[in-house]
Amino acid sequence: MAFILFSFTGSQKLFEKKSDFKDGIEIGDKAPEFNLKNIDGKKYSFDNIRDANGNKPKGYIIVFTCNTCPYAQANEQRLIELHNTYASKGYPVIAIQPNDPEVKPGDSFQAMKKNASEKGFPFLYLLDEGQEIFPKYGATKTPEIYLLDSNRILRYHGAIDDSPRDENGVSEKFVEKAIEALENGKQPEINSTKAIGCSIKTA
């Protein structure tokens, strides 16, 4: 019996170690830089991302999302609408695919291109190649939204709205409300929400 207890304790230590990474940004923190390849082959960073009018954005709707997660899929149309509404007002959507394509072949660069063209993504769809960016943001799942202001300060983090699975059930649009608050020079009333999502796939 002592044998068993001993090995339990041993493996628990290993387990704690494995899941013991809590990095990421909080509301009010400056968002980490990135320089990632878009599905058009070009690289994008905060230095060259522009809004729909070619201006430096007033804010950034960064969303960690992917092709394969049902929750991500359920949000695709809403992200398209969000971009179409707000990119011209200075708030473009920037989608970042964080899954390791080796683990999730459906999220390969080729598959991202295909999905984006089929769905007609009007926004950037970047690959987090090497998976260095999502841990810096502290993202754990897809889809997960980070709304930044013009100075790259995190102002809202969480779900697109209160019914991520089913658009018909939406009664509160968290991201839109947060953008409206920023537009009015205010802080979003609700700056952090949670939703079920697919864990980001790492090797």
- Residues forming contacts to other proteins in the complex (CB under 8 A) are 3-12, 15, 18-19, 70, 140-141, 158-159, 162-166, 169, 174, 193-201
Rounded to the nearest whole angstrom, what is the least distance from the CB of residue 35 to other proteins in the complex? 26
> Minimum distance from CB of 56 to other proteins (Å)?
31
C-beta closer to other proteins: residue 38 or 67 = 67
Residue with tokens 């990474």: 21
Beta pairing partners, 156: 147
β-sheet bridge partners, residue 54: none
Distance CA 200, CA 24 (A): 14
Nearest to 113 by CA among 104, 125, 102, 105: 125
- Radius of gyration over alpha carbons of the chain, in Å? 18
Q: Which is nearer to other proteins, 2 or 185 (CB)?
A: 2
Give me the least distance between CB of 137 and other proteins, in Å please.
Answer: 12
Nearer to other proteins, 182 or 200 (CB): 200
Q: How far is the CB of 34 from other proteins (least distance, A)?
A: 21
Q: Which of residues 53 and 196 has its CB atom nearest to other proteins in the complex?
A: 196
Burial of 114 (0-12, 13-18, 19+ CB in 10 A): middle
